[in-house]
Chains A and B, each alone.
Chain A
Amino acid sequence: DAGVIQSPRHEVTEMGQEVTLRCKPISGHDYLFWYRQTMMRGLELLIYFNNNVPIDDSGMPEDRFSAKMPNASFSTLKIQPSEPRDSAVYFCASGSGDAFFGQGTRLTVV
């Protein structure tokens, strides 16, 4: 199995631009998670899905953030408009009672 696949690995964008992060979970996992990691706040859960349905989005910082999971093999996290304080590493993880992480997307908003 290739594991959780995220793209892009690195993204540099200007403030105000839309950013879309992509994730392909491990086949057969029924949960998908989006996390954000910064030095100041550590690893924060933004949102998670069960069988493609969003279950808890209480960690999404504000309306500029949205996430979708149109099918079992694909999810997106979108930030629109992006701000410098959104700079972080964004991880997607999938699991069934646990969580296996992708390599992350390092986002820099300038």
Chain B
Amino acid sequence: RKEVEQDPGPFNVPEGATVAFNCTYSNSASQSFFWYRQDCRKEPKLLMSVYSSGNEDGRFTAQLNRASQYISLLIRDSKLSDSATYLCVVNALGNFNKFYFGSGTKLNVKP
């Protein structure tokens, strides 16, 4: 079983829509969670960390559900510029600094 699993998508949504992605992880002891964004032929960039209590950054909200071992990313009022692949990241068992990346969920925001 992969350490991190994501729906590859693509999610095709109109501008202004709200879209949510989930990501499941296999290690119940994981402590560090992140969402990264990767544009085509570019490097992954840190979008936001995910905290136990959930956190928000503008139009982006991240949630952690430890009981079900998943994290989520909600994007409100989506923009054309949000089109990218979103990568879920979880730390390895017993190692806060070894990160596993999901294969990514592709988002296409259409005019």
> Taking beta carbons and an 8 Å cutoff, which residues of A are in contact with B?
31, 33, 35, 42-43, 45, 48, 50, 55-56, 91, 95, 97-104
Question: Are B98 and A45 touching (Cβ within 8 A)?
Answer: yes
What is the size category of the interface that chain B forms with chain A? 20 to 34
Minimal Cβ-Cβ distance residue in B for A39: B103
Q: In the complex where A50-B97, A98-B34, A99-B99 touch, is A42 in contact with B104 (Cβ < 8 A)? A: yes
- What's the Cα separation between A101 and B100 when bound, in Å? 14
Q: In the complex where A42-B104, A43-B87 touch, is A101 in contact with B99 (Cβ < 8 A)? A: no
Question: Are B97 and A45 touching (Cβ within 8 A)?
Answer: no
Which interface residue of A43, A55, A56, A102 has the most chain B CB atoms within 10 A?
A43
Residues of A with C-beta under 8 A to B34: 98
B29 interface residue per 8 A CB criterion? no
Minimal Cβ-Cβ distance residue in B for A4: B43
Q: In the complex where A42-B104, A98-B34, A98-B49 touch, is A103 in contact with B42 (Cβ < 8 A)? A: yes
Residues of A with C-beta under 8 A to B44: 43, 91, 101
Chain B proximity of A5: nearest CB distance (Å) = 12
Question: Are B46 and A100 touching (Cβ within 8 A)?
Answer: yes
B32 interface residue per 8 A CB criterion? yes
Residues of A with C-beta under 8 A to B100: 45
Chain B proximity of A89: nearest CB distance (Å) = 8
